[in-house]
Structure 1
C-alpha cells in the first residue's frame, strides 16, 4: 500500500513529460482560439458602432424633417397673414394708382409662387432658407404697399374734405350771389322807381274846334272834338335828362281801351296796348307839357280816363266827365 501511494505522489519522469505535453497542447489550442475571439469582439464593436451611427443619423434626419415641416408651416401661416393684410387693404375701396395696382398684382403672384414651392415634398434646406428670405421681402413689400394705401387714403380724405369745403364755400358763395342779386334787383327796382318820371299834376279838357281856328272848352260830349291833356312832371334829380316816349291810354265810359292800331309797348317786360303816343323833353325844370288827342268822331257821355306811361311804368292819370 505504501509503495502504491508513493508512486502516485511521486510520478515518474515519463509521467511528468506526458503531463507537460498535454498542457502544452492545451496552451497551443488556446493560442489558436485567441485571434478568433479578438476578431469576434471587433465585429461586435463594429456592429454596435454601426447601429449607433444609423441611430444618430436617422434621429437627426427625423429631427431635421420635423424642423423643415415646422418651418414650412410657419411660412405658410406667414403667407396667410400677408394675404389677409393684402385683402384688407384692397377692400378699402381706394382708387389705386397704376403703380399701386402693379405692386398688388406682383404681391399676389409672389404669394402663389411661394405657396407652390412650399407644397413641394422634396425641399432642400437651401431652398427653404431662400423661401424664408423671399417671404421676408414679400412682407416688406406688402408693408410698404399698405403704408402707400394708407397715405393715398389719407390724401383722398383730405381731397374729399377740401372738395366738400369748396362745395360748401361755393354753395355759400352762390347763396351770397343770389342774395346780392336779389338785393341788386331790388335796388334796380328802387332805382328804376326813383328815376321814373311821375306826374305832379294833370288837367284834361274837352275842346271844341270852331271856324277860323278858334277853340273853346266844352262839357258836352256831342260838342267835343278832342281832348287836351296838360301835365307837369314832378321834380326828380335822379331821372336822366332826355327825350322820353309817353304812351297814352284812353279808357272810354264803357270801359274799353280806345286804340286806332295794334299799338304795343312794354313796361317791365309786360306788353301793353296804347291809344297814342308822344315825345317830351325832360329837363327837370317843372315846365308844363300839353298834348291834344283827336278822339273818335262822336264822343260818348260819361267819364273818360286818361293814363300816361313811360317804359318804366305809369306816370299818372286823370279823368274827365262829358255830359
Structure 2
C-alpha cells in the first residue's frame, strides 16, 4: 500500500477557499460603495459651506457699512442736541452699544447677521425720533435768542457759540456724506476684477501661434489672462477694454478694427479693442484676439487691461526683426 500524500488539497478544502474569496470580494465592493458615498457627501457639504461663507462675507460687509453710517449720524445728533441744551444720555448709551455691536460683528455668524438687521432698524428708529426733538429744541432756542437780543447786546457771545455749533453740525453732515462715499468706494474697489498672468501670442496667416513675435510674421495677436476669484464681484456681463501701446508709447487704435473710447478716472481714454465677458468667479481664462491692419513696429509693446472704471492688469510683448 502506497503512503497517503497529505500535500494534495481535498475537494472540500478547495471549495471552502473559493467561498472565502467570493465573500471577500463582496465585502470589498461594499466598502468601496460606502467610501464613495461618504466622499461625495463630504464634497457636497464643503461646497455648500463655501457658498454660505461667500454670502456671509457679503452680508457682514453690508452690515458693517450700515453701522458705520449710523455711528456718523449719531455723532452729529449728539453734538447738536448738546449745543441746544437737550438730554444726550440715551444717545450716549446708544453710542456705547453701537461700538460693542461693531466689535462683535467681526466674529458674527450667518444667523447673527440677521439679528443685526433688527438692531440696525432699531437704531434708525431712534435717530428718526431724535430729529423731532432737535426741531423742538431749535424752536425753543430760537425764542430764547430773540428775547436775549432784546434784553442785552451781551448775547453776542451766545450767537457766536450758536454759529460755531451750527458749523460743527454742518461739518458733521459733510463728514457723513464723505464717509458714506468713502465706504461705497471701498466696497467698489474691493469688488474690482484682477487679471493675472497676462500673455501675448503671435498668430500668423496660417493660424499658428508663437511666443516669439516677428513683425513680418504677425497676422494677429492673442492676449490671454486669468481672472482671480473674488466673492465680492458680481457675476454678470462685464466689458474688458484693451490698450496696446507701441514702443514709443503711442496707443494703437483703428476704429475699423473695433477701437473706441471709455471713461477712466473722469477722463476719456482710447482703447485698442474691447471684449464683453460673463464673470463666473471661478478663476476663468479670457482670450482676446486682435487683428491689426498694418504691421507692428519693432520693439517692446505694453498691454493695459481696464474694466468697470479700474485698471485690472497689464503685460508686455516684444516684436523682433521684420519690416519695422
**Which entry has the higher C-alpha Rg, 1 or 2?**
1
Q: TM-score, normalised by structure 2?
A: 0.47
The higher relative CO (CA closer than 8 Å, separation ≥ 6) is in 2
Q: TM-score, normalised by structure 1?
A: 0.48
